[in-house]
């Protein structure tokens, strides 16, 4: 068979989109009994693990070369087991470290705690070591317990502080160091050094530890408790990004906001010495949600900005509060940005931490955890914030040029919200395998399957398999013997009712109508004559916009653009 693709770029759209044709989600959910359900099919939950432990949640995920998963979060020890393993508790809530195989079967769990409550926030896999960042409450007791180790917590000014600990992949504890203030981010450089940001509400600290647990340095950077993030291996050093209001003294240098809040992006040497800093923002509300370094050493940043924005000496025009995905090269110049796809209402909040992973094709998957509402084109995605944790989550995929390919709602609500109350964090990103974890806080629906009927705080993890066919808007992709000219759609543009002619000889046709976000809206199977086949579609209520008609004959797909006016 011969593959042929004709690319005619529509001037109105300058980015490619991919349709996520196969999505397999696997969840680890805490329930009162253990059971396994298996179903099959495109876009369905393939298998589900349920556990008899309650009140748990995951905050981060990583994996090793064998696709074993390592997740961190929080658990309330209540005498039940988690994945068949007993839970040793030290307080009201403990930090949780969990290892599973590539199918989500638990290999071991570990808790870390003190008297009151801890929650592990970050995990990094590096050279067969697990580096974990967690909160610790030192206000009610003076010791942290990890396995049989009892470690004295320093007398910090505030009760909520943090620690960084290292384990091997068998869960054997190796070392721990404490952080002044609550942890805000954790990264590990190529040499195995750990970089942790923390804040005690008065000062933002950068703490750096070697791979053997030695303290390289702890430095105060600025006076802030706003979201702050660190990235390693950027231009021979590290980058720090933080949101600030009005003005900020960063390592002895004063910077001023252009509007309500702005973003400070700074470069430091590996020894923590100041190199440079820039303010990113406009007259509105601008916030960073995270930074990381890609495989080519560029800095990837996401967040929200408003109106026209001054970014590294370049004015980026725009209106409204909108989500941005930004790439910066090592010389601090903009490589690419995308801020046209998601916007927010006036009263908005981002929720959860940034999570972005890159595959071998240099494509990016990231999560957008949000509260209240996100508007994507004609799609208004809503949640309802009722306290305690995260709102809802979208999965976003960007191409090598930082342009949006597709997005999908992770979960839907069973109540009056169209997104389910579940946080989401991404792990390893292969070309077609992506691991996720998080916490569900209500009864939600994922791929038409109900979860968390008990409405408890439940940990879950899973795998998304992204098998896509790529097309440019206004592009035909086909495989002989089915040619693009064999499929005729008229009228096109249409007011909603249209007819499809199949000119080629074939016994079976499968018709799908897909929206621009990759969601299947309509499917019909046609069988019969080896002659001209005609199908009229008039039962759909399609809003104005662009859609795609996919016709598959004998396994060979044809994709056509459909415009609804």
C-alpha closest to that of 198 among 291, 115, 122:
122
Alpha carbon distance 465, 455 (integer Å)? 27
Tokens, residue 564: 């609804």
What CATH number belongs to 20-468? Answer: 2.130.10.10
Alpha carbon distance 118, 135 (integer Å)? 5
DSSP state of 281: B
3-class DSSP assignment, residue 419: coil
Q: For position 421, what pLDDT does the model report?
A: 83
Structure-token match 């590096």, residue found:
126
Q: For position 29, what pLDDT does the model report?
A: 31
| pLDDT tens track for 383-434 | 765 544 457 888 898 999 999 888 888 788 887 778 888 888 888 776 677 8
| Spatial contact of 442 and 413, defined as CB atoms under 8 Å apart | yes
* Burial profile 331-350: b = 16 or more Cβ within 10 angstroms, e = fewer: ebeeebbbbebbbbeeebeb
Q: Which residues pair with 6 in a beta bridge?
A: 476
3-class DSSP assignment, residue 398: strand
Omega within 30 of 0 (cis) for the link into 141: no
Q: For position 384, what pLDDT does the model report?
A: 67
Q: For position 139, what pLDDT does the model report?
A: 64
pTM of the entire predicted model: 0.77
C-alpha dihedral, 249 to 282 to 396 to 16, nearest 10°: -140
In the chain the first and final C-alpha atoms are separated, in Å, by 37
Per-residue three-class SS string for 199-251: ECCCCEEEEEECCCCCEEEEEEEECCCCCEEEEEEECCEEEEEEEEEEEEEEC
Tokens, residue 439: 């916490």
Q: How many Cα atoms sit within 13 Å of 503 on the Cβ side?
A: 10
Q: How many Cα atoms sit within 13 Å of 189 on the Cβ side?
A: 22
3-class DSSP assignment, residue 487: strand
Alpha carbon distance 134, 160 (integer Å)? 11
Phi-psi region for residue 245, left (φ > 0), alpha (ψ -120 to 50) or beta? beta
| Spatial contact of 508 and 527, defined as CB atoms under 8 Å apart | yes
Q: For position 564, what pLDDT does the model report?
A: 85
Q: Where are the domains of the chain?
A: 3-12+478-564, 20-468
Alpha carbon distance 184, 135 (integer Å)? 10
State how beta strands 25-30 and 45-51 pair: parallel
| pLDDT tens track for 13-70 | 223 333 333 332 333 333 222 222 222 223 334 444 545 556 788 999 999 999 899 9
Alpha carbon distance 40, 30 (integer Å)? 22
Structure-token match 């094709």, residue found:
361
Tell me the CA distances in angstroms from 12 to 315, 324, 339, 408, 474, one per residue in order. 22, 20, 16, 22, 10
Tokens, residue 191: 């040499």
3-class DSSP assignment, residue 485: helix
Structure-token match 């003076």, residue found:
142
Q: For position 7, what pLDDT does the model report?
A: 24
* Identical topology for domains 3-12+478-564 and 20-468: no
**CATH (one of 2.60.40.3080, 3.60.150.10, 3.40.605.10, 2.60.40.10) for 3-12+478-564:** 2.60.40.3080
Omega within 30 of 0 (cis) for the link into 317: no
| Sheet containing 215-222: order of strands | 182-188, 194-199, 204-209, 215-222
* Burial profile 234-250: b = 16 or more Cβ within 10 angstroms, e = fewer: bbebbbbbbbbeeebeb
Which regions in the chain score pLDDT beneath 50? 1-48, 50, 387-389, 468-483, 529-531
Q: Which residues pair with 370 in a beta bridge?
A: 350, 392
3-class DSSP assignment, residue 484: helix
Per-residue three-class SS string for 494-505: ECCCEEEEECCC
φ and ψ at 202, to 5 degrees? -110, -35
Tokens, residue 30: 């805490």
Alpha carbon distance 411, 81 (integer Å)? 26
DSSP state of 422: B
């Amino acid at each position: 068979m011969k593959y042929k693709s004709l690319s005619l770029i529509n001037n109105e759209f300058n980015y490619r989109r991919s349709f996520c044709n196969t999505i397999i989600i696997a969840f680890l959910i805490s329930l009162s009994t253990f059971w396994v359900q298996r179903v099959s099919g495109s876009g369905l939950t393939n298998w589900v693990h349920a556990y008899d432990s309650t009140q748990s949640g995951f905050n981060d995920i990583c994996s090793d070369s064998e696709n074993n998963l390592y997740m961190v979060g929080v658990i309330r020890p209540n005498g039940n087991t988690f994945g068949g393993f007993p839970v040793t508790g030290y307080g009201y809530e403990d930090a949780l470290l969990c290892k599973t195989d590539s199918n989500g079967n638990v290999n071991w769990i570990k808790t870390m705690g003190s008297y009151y409550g801890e929650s592990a926030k970050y995990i990094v896999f590096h050279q067969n070591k697990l580096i974990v960042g967690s909160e610790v409450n030192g206000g009610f007791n003076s010791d942290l317990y990890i396995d049989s180790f009892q470690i004295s917590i320093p007398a910090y000014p505030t009760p909520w502080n943090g620690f960084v600990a290292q384990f091997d992949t068998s869960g054997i504890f190796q070392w721990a160091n404490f952080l002044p203030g609550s942890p805000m981010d954790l990264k590990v450089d190529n040499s195995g050094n750990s970089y942790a940001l923390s804040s005690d509400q008065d000062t933002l600290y950068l703490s750096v530890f070697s791979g053997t647990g030695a303290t390289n340095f702890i430095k105060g950077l600025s006076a802030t408790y706003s979201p702050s993030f660190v990235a390693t291996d950027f231009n021979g050093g590290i980058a720090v990004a933080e949101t600030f209001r009005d003005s900020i003294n960063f390592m002895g240098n004063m910077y001023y906001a252009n509007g309500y809040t702005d973003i400070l992006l700074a470069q430091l040497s590996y020894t923590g010495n100041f190199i440079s800093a820039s303010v990113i923002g406009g007259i509105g509300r601008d916030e960073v949600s995270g930074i990381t370094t890609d495989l080519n050493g560029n800095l990837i940043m996401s967040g929200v900005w408003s109106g026209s924005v001054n970014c590294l000496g370049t004015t980026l025009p725009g209106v409204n509060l909108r989500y941005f995905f930004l790439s910066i090269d090592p010389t601090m110049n903009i490589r690419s940005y995308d801020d046209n796809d998601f916007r927010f209402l006036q009263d908005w909040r981002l929720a959860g931490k940034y999570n972005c992973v890159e595959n071998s094709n240099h494509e990016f998957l990231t999560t957008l955890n949000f509260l209240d509402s996100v508007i994507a084109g004609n799609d208004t995605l809503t949640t309802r914030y009722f306290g305690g944790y995260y709102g809802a989550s979208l999965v976003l995929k960007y191409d090598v040029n930082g342009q949006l390919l597709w997005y999908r709602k992770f979960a839907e609500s069973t109540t009056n919200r169209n997104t389910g109350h579940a946080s989401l964090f991404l792990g390893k990103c292969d070309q077609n395998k992506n691991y996720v974890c998080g916490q569900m806080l209500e009864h939600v629906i994922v791929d038409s399957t109900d979860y968390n009927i008990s409405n408890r705080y439940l940990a879950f993890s899973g795998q998304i398999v992204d098998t896509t066919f790529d097309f440019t808007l206004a592009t035909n992709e086909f495989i002989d013997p089915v040619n693009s000219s064999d499929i005729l759609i008229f009228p096109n543009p249409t007011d909603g009712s249209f007819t499809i002619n199949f000119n080629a000889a074939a016994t079976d046709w499968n018709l799908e109508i897909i929206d621009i976000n990759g969601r299947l809206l309509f499917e019909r199977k046609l069988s019969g004559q080896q002659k001209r086949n005609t199908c009229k579609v008039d039962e759909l209520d399609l809003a104005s916009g662009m859609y795609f008609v996919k016709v598959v004959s004998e396994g060979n797909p044809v994709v056509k653009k459909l415009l609804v006016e």
